[in-house]
A and B are shown apart, each in its own frame.
Chain A
């Protein structure tokens, strides 16, 4: 589900940016650092809509860097248990299928696919009803219900950890959402068949 929330972040700025364009530098650095990241608590930050307030800068002892507390509004996306989402199927195998709703990956096991759909292997593996009327294959759109979510702290990419300041508060470590879903309930299943135009 999408949320529009206010978050706060401490931006550390190098003295070379002090000058006329200080505010722009802070905002552009904020966007570069935050947009596209994911935290376990808030989910994925999709976009920053506005900057509410940039507080007074505090000079760090020993270095010339200055810390600005920035309050900003942003749109975040976070999956929840029980939520109903539309997703695009990315891979089908005999255990079930993987679907993606933006940055969130959802796995639907074959136990939670209606019993009248059978797995067909081949070039384009898919799940089909016995009369062939409904088919789930790669790039199909499905409506599914999330029955469980889990946040995985991903293996920290070396490049990312070097560019991130070390005093990042807990809760904004890079992480990834993995969910388990079902299409066995009413009104769930394929929305759009990719083979029909």
Chain B
């Protein structure tokens, strides 16, 4: 606020200030706008918030989810990403991006319930006319009214404790393929006090490329963002930051098969041993590895390498023989086993520790029984991958 400096340089910016005697000439102290060229970093409703220049819709990137009408320039976005990450790291926190559907909850329109699930419809009707009313079964089943239709929303077991504990180590955002109205209502059920997500809810309308999620809109650096989602494909190529979680299906899915859904059996996923509890354990491990590892130089730390490292310890020390080399998911299961630190082979050998086979009649099966090797179903590898820990060897289907 240097008056003398401004008088010298800002001759045209003057104003008359009132006084009952002589009018005074005083310069307006808008030094910043004149001396530095405005970067047009933040645009609100088409106007630059500092110098009022009108910018059109192609400038910068739209950030409607934070504030309607907000756009940031590319430079401002990278500055904000760096700054936010730096602030979080100072508080020993990382970024966490969560998906909604099938990860934290499962929703179903009331008209699409199967006959075995009709008891839920009665409970919903009995719960009254208010939208987002709790229906019994503890605190986890809600109904919300969107337009003329009623939607039943079931929260995944353990989700509240998961959010509570994760929010101590991470700043959480939501990234969902649902539309804005559904997402805000669902988040209100998960986070009624607005403690965890704040305004960080990115929905389908915000993604530039339809059907593809990306981290561009998350204001944090990619080296410190962990994603938890049940589908890998929706993220395009960015899977190094991703922890894939088992899909949560409470209501009967669209697939016509004989197994009953949780709702039809009136049961649910285990709370203490389900997917979210295991993912929380993995998140705590990533956090610990990122911050407490003395060997890591601050600038070189990256959650992606931490994730890879933790994953590679799951099946460390295992040498796995794939018995039947013609089941359709072999390449995927093979690569997962290798990611988890196991050595995979098709050749029988003395160093083998585990034999994967789904066929009880094969030669490898007999060889394994002879040599007393651990026999496991391919699902054993998938379980280890999704639950982030090695399952006991005898929990196979043999």
- Whole-angstrom CA separation of A109 from B50 in the bound complex: 7
Q: Which residues of A in the span 143-160 have a Cβ within 8 Å of any Cβ on B?
A: 147-148, 150, 152
Chain B contributes a number of interface residues (CB within 8 A of A) equal to: 21
A111 is an interface residue with CB less than 8 A from chain B = yes
Contact between A150 and B49 (Cβ–Cβ < 8 Å)? no
Contact between A112 and B49 (Cβ–Cβ < 8 Å)? yes
Contact between A150 and B29 (Cβ–Cβ < 8 Å)? no
Chain B residues within an 8 Å CB radius of A180:
44, 47-49, 52
Lowest 10 CB-CB distances: which A-B pairs, in order?
A148-B52, A109-B49, A111-B50, A147-B52, A178-B45, A148-B47, A180-B49, A180-B47, A180-B52, A150-B47
B32 is an interface residue with CB less than 8 A from chain A = yes
How far does the Cβ of A84 sit from chain B's closest Cβ, in whole Å? 10
Q: Which residue of B lies closest to A109 (CB)?
A: B49
B42 is an interface residue with CB less than 8 A from chain A = yes
How far does the Cβ of B300 sit from chain A's closest Cβ, in whole Å? 29
Chain B residues within an 8 Å CB radius of A111:
32, 42, 49-50
Contact A150-B30, Cβ < 8 Å, known A81-B52, A112-B50:
no
Contact A95-B42, Cβ < 8 Å, known A111-B32, A185-B30:
yes
Chain A residues within an 8 Å CB radius of B45:
150, 152, 178
Q: Which residue of B lies closest to A91 (CB)?
A: B67
Chain B residues within an 8 Å CB radius of A182:
30
Chain A residues within an 8 Å CB radius of B67:
93, 95
Contact A109-B46, Cβ < 8 Å, known A180-B52, A184-B29, A185-B29:
no
Contact between B50 and A107 (Cβ–Cβ < 8 Å)? no
Contact A96-B49, Cβ < 8 Å, known A109-B42, A150-B54, A180-B44:
yes
- Whole-angstrom CA separation of A148 from B47 in the bound complex: 8
- Whole-angstrom CA separation of A81 from B133 in the bound complex: 48
How far does the Cβ of A79 sit from chain B's closest Cβ, in whole Å? 13
Beyond A111-B49, A180-B49, A187-B17, 17 extra complex contacts between A and B, CB < 8 Å: A93-B67, A95-B67, A96-B49, A107-B44, A109-B44, A109-B49, A111-B32, A112-B50, A148-B47, A148-B52, A150-B45, A152-B45, A178-B47, A180-B44, A184-B29, A186-B26, A186-B28
Could you say which of A96, A107, A152, A178 has the most chain B C-beta atoms within 10 Å of its C-beta? A107
Tally of contacts, chain A with chain B, CB under 8 A: 50
- Whole-angstrom CA separation of A185 from B26 in the bound complex: 11
Chain A residues within an 8 Å CB radius of B54:
150
Q: Which residues of B in the span 24-77 have a Cβ within 8 Å of any Cβ on A?
A: 26, 28-30, 32, 42, 44-52, 54, 66-67, 69-70
Chain B residues within an 8 Å CB radius of A107:
44, 49
- Whole-angstrom CA separation of A107 from B26 in the bound complex: 26
* B-to-A contact residues, CB < 8 Å: 17, 26, 28-30, 32, 42, 44-52, 54, 66-67, 69-70
Interface residues on A, range: 10 to 19
How far does the Cβ of B33 sit from chain A's closest Cβ, in whole Å? 9
Q: Mark A166-181, 1 if CB is under 8 A from B, else 0.
A: 0000000000001010
Q: Which residues of A in the span 96-111 have a Cβ within 8 Å of any Cβ on B?
A: 96, 107, 109, 111
9 contacts between A and B (CB under 8 A): A95-B49, A107-B44, A107-B49, A111-B49, A147-B51, A150-B46, A150-B47, A150-B54, A180-B44
Which one of B29, B46, B69 lies within 8 Å of A186 (CB-CB)? B29
Q: Which residue of A lies closest to B51 (CB)?
A: A147
* A-to-B contact residues, CB < 8 Å: 81, 93, 95-96, 107, 109, 111-112, 147-148, 150, 152, 178, 180, 182, 184-187
- Whole-angstrom CA separation of A147 from B28 in the bound complex: 13
Q: Which residue of A lies closest to B39 (CB)?
A: A111
- Whole-angstrom CA separation of A107 from B52 in the bound complex: 11
- Whole-angstrom CA separation of A109 from B66 in the bound complex: 15
How far does the Cβ of A129 sit from chain B's closest Cβ, in whole Å? 14
Chain A residues within an 8 Å CB radius of B69:
178
- Whole-angstrom CA separation of A37 from B222 in the bound complex: 48
Q: Which residue of B lies closest to A148 (CB)?
A: B52
Chain A residues within an 8 Å CB radius of B28:
185-186
Chain A residues within an 8 Å CB radius of B49:
95-96, 107, 109, 111-112, 180
Chain A residues within an 8 Å CB radius of B32:
111, 184
Could you say which of B30, B42, B48, B49 has the most chain A C-beta atoms within 10 Å of its C-beta? B49
Chain B residues within an 8 Å CB radius of A184:
29-30, 32
- Whole-angstrom CA separation of A171 from B26 in the bound complex: 38
- Whole-angstrom CA separation of A112 from B48 in the bound complex: 12
Could you say which of B46, B47, B48, B51 has the most chain A C-beta atoms within 10 Å of its C-beta? B47
Chain B residues within an 8 Å CB radius of A81:
52
How far does the Cβ of A14 sit from chain B's closest Cβ, in whole Å? 34
Q: Which residue of A lies closest to B3 (CB)?
A: A186
How far does the Cβ of A82 sit from chain B's closest Cβ, in whole Å? 9
Q: Which residue of A lies closest to B46 (CB)?
A: A150
Q: Which residue of B lies closest to A114 (CB)?
A: B1
Chain B residues within an 8 Å CB radius of A185:
28-30
